[in-house]
Amino acid sequence: MVKFLLLVLTLILSGCLGSTMERKDSTQYDKGSFNQLGKLDQDRMADYEIRENIESLKILMLKLYKRNPNQLKKTTSDNAEQAVNWFFNGSHKWDFKQINNATDFKAVYQAF
């Protein structure tokens, strides 16, 4: 009887261990990694959803540029892949004197 209870308890506790999801960057899903220490599960899920949405937007932008190359030619002579890469990964270096060259959240605060 004791062996049976020990076996059941072991199975129940082994189910609580859980495994991390294996993705391109597995540290982003590891709850023990440094950048995940202060985050709740909802925060991790929001980060995951944001990354997935950005990837979907990249795919959509690429498809639209490939279907409408005349729209791409209005802005650049690059191909569609280079334009999408520049849009999502490029450093735009925009300076606006009207908001004292503020960027990120500082620019948003000045808008309100």
- For residue 108, what pLDDT is reported? 79
Mean pLDDT by 10 residues, the chain (112 residues): 77 64 51 66 84 93 91 86 86 77 78 73
d(CA 87, CA 61): 10
d(CA 21, CA 18): 10
- Determine, yes or no, domain membership for 19: no
- Determine, yes or no, domain membership for 94: no
d(CA 94, CA 98): 12
> Which positions ≥6 away from 110 have C-beta within 8 Å?
99, 100, 102
What residues make up the domain containing 54? 24-89
Per the structure, how many domains does the chain have?
Answer: 1
Residue 54 near residue 88 (C-beta atoms within 8 A): yes
Number of Cβ within 10 Å of residue 70's Cβ equals 6
- Determine, yes or no, domain membership for 1: no
- Determine, yes or no, domain membership for 43: yes
